[in-house]
Chains A and B, each alone.
Chain A
Amino acid sequence: MFQTAAIRRVSPDPPDAPTDAPSARPVRADVTTTATVGGALVAVTLRNDTAVAVRVRVENDLDGPVLPPRREGVPAAGWDEDGFTGVVPADARLGIGYACPNVDGDTAGPADTDRALDPISLAVLGPAEEADPSASDRVAVAVRSLGRATPPADAVPTSAALDPDRTDSSAGCRPRRCDGPAESDPSSVPTPVAAWLDAVETRVRRAERLTDATADEAAAVLEDCGGADGVATLPDELQADRASLRAAGDRIEDLAARAAEADPELVVSSLLAAAEGDTSPASGGESTASGTSGAGDPEAGR
């Protein structure tokens, strides 16, 4: 599922720094960048060779946003939108990692990872001190550790909430669409329109899943679509869908407004009454009787 284009170890320290002087560089970092479809996974091992815990700042230098590890939807402790701040314990190692999608849509290839620029920059902020967690930190801790108490999603699927990925090729021939009852219901959408909307919904759902997606989420979508080819045309299709939806929406709105305004009932009933009046002499007594009862007492005829 992942295409590992390149794995490379880099040191974020300047090349002219003395490598055998741990006091000059209390913390060193080994960075492994793994290119995947749509982005890169960055793994950083921070080594602290000194006898004191050190606070460090790791910032992303790749071209793209940082997608930090999350728990319950909240970034893990120490992560913000540019990187990570944390403490490396004395004489110990700390492993961190994040994903970085390519904003410009390029696939991170060898050219990307072989360039001279290091994927991260490392700054030592000094010895670690006991920091009093702020209220917002405590909120994040509470959500991460306790878990959100959101009610479960709707248990009964509605037509809008049907799994879109299962309807790709068979949108038009799902049983609930082809069944008679669905079509006889005046409030339901006609089958061809529903099929078109379902197809659009599939693409929109995919596009939503790929919007600001982590590498794992993107990989899951790719797996569902059968590889990169499956999503290659998605941006263009989405563009076309936007135009069609807007046009259809305008037309539907226009027609709905006109349909609400129009009131043919009165004229139609009088036309029908006139037509029945015209035909009654020629078609005999039975017709006349029913015509009379219909005009005089509509309820009686039903």
Chain B
Amino acid sequence: MILAITGGKGGVGKSTLSVELGAALDATVVDADLGMADLPTGPGPDLHDVLAGRADPIEAVREGCGPVRTLPCGRSLSGARAADVTVLDDVLRDVEREYGDVVVDCPAGLRADAGVPLAVADACVVVASPRRYALADAVRSRELARELDAGLVAVVINRVVDDAPTAAFEEALGAPATIVPADPRVERTLEAFRPVVRTAPSTRAADAIRAVADAACRTKRV
């Protein structure tokens, strides 16, 4: 299964949730944010090289370098210019064939680099922050996913401190909303590259992430 993590607005926690879900599903996390990558990278070919035809998708996957298998993305502008997003289809399918489930961390916005992962994905998770203004972006992402035939697994309302407008989100998006409470350990997931579903599995945040992962698994079985 190819699961796209999308959400319109930047900074709502798409990359963090991608790593968490990648750990929960034992999937390969692909950082498809070609312009502003987030996932830790290192020496070796990355997604820019793969999309420019300079590297094989499988050789760009980092295995055993951390708790989650990743296909990181380069940080350079020239790499982003050279990357052909239309090739992403074949790349994601190659990775899925070799390693099984794939979680795609989509970029913010509604351009082709955000749309192509949704066009390829079997299902998607829409991430939003618990603010009123975030709902509009979540709805736009949801509409794009619907047009491109990526079924919605769940809406994640991320970093909830008090009461979240869950009912409003569920009504507008037509899907159950999962609340991930604000947790400093989740904030450090990317920085330390330690997903809480592994390091703190009994927290409420980890429970919520596992619930989303279970929903994705149920979609896969259907």
Is B89 interfacial (CB-CB < 8 Å)? yes
Is B115 interfacial (CB-CB < 8 Å)? yes
Is A149 interfacial (CB-CB < 8 Å)? yes
Do B107 and A143 touch across chains, with their CB atoms under 8 A apart?
A: no
Do A150 and B80 touch across chains, with their CB atoms under 8 A apart?
A: yes
Is B109 interfacial (CB-CB < 8 Å)? yes
The one of A138, A143, A151 in contact with B85, judged by C-beta atoms closer than 8 angstroms, is: A143
Do A139 and B119 touch across chains, with their CB atoms under 8 A apart?
A: yes
Pick the most buried of A142, A149, A150, A153: most chain B CB atoms within 10 A of its CB. A142
Report chain B residues within 8 Å CB of A140. 86
Report chain A residues within 8 Å CB of B89. 135-136, 139
The CA of A141 and the CA of B112, in the complex, are separated in Å by 9
Do B113 and A139 touch across chains, with their CB atoms under 8 A apart?
A: no
Report chain A residues within 8 Å CB of B214. none
Residue-by-residue, is B31-44 near A (CB-CB < 8 Å gives 1, otherwise 0)? 00011000000000
Do A72 and B112 touch across chains, with their CB atoms under 8 A apart?
A: yes
Do A141 and B109 touch across chains, with their CB atoms under 8 A apart?
A: no
The one of B81, B107, B110, B119 in contact with A141, judged by C-beta atoms closer than 8 angstroms, is: B119
Q: What distance in Å separates the Cβ of B106 from its nearest Cβ neighbour in chain A?
A: 12
Residue-by-residue, is A129-166 near B (CB-CB < 8 Å gives 1, otherwise 0)? 00001011011111101111111010000000000000
Q: What distance in Å separates the Cβ of B35 from its nearest Cβ neighbour in chain A?
A: 6
Report chain B residues within 8 Å CB of A138. 119-120, 148-149
Is A52 interfacial (CB-CB < 8 Å)? no
Is A74 interfacial (CB-CB < 8 Å)? yes
Count residues on chain B whose CB falls below 8 Å from chain A CBs.
24
Do B109 and A149 touch across chains, with their CB atoms under 8 A apart?
A: yes
Do B35 and A151 touch across chains, with their CB atoms under 8 A apart?
A: yes
Q: What distance in Å separates the Cβ of B48 from its nearest Cβ neighbour in chain A?
A: 12
Pick the most buried of A72, A149, A151: most chain B CB atoms within 10 A of its CB. A149
Would you list which residues of chain B between 15 and 56 have a CB under 8 Å from chain A?
34-35
Is B114 interfacial (CB-CB < 8 Å)? yes
Would you list which residues of chain B between 100 and 141 have a CB under 8 Å from chain A?
107, 109-116, 118-120
Given known contacts A140-B86, A143-B85, A149 and B111 CB-to-CB distance under 8 angstroms:
yes
Do A146 and B80 touch across chains, with their CB atoms under 8 A apart?
A: no
The CA of A8 and the CA of B110, in the complex, are separated in Å by 45
Do B149 and A146 touch across chains, with their CB atoms under 8 A apart?
A: no
Q: B: which residues have CB within 8 A of A?
A: 34-35, 77, 80-81, 85-86, 88-89, 107, 109-116, 118-120, 144, 148-149
Other than the given A139-B88, A146-B111, A148-B112, 13 more pairs (CB < 8 A) read A74-B86, A139-B89, A139-B119, A142-B118, A143-B86, A143-B116, A146-B115, A148-B85, A149-B109, A149-B112, A149-B114, A151-B77, A151-B80
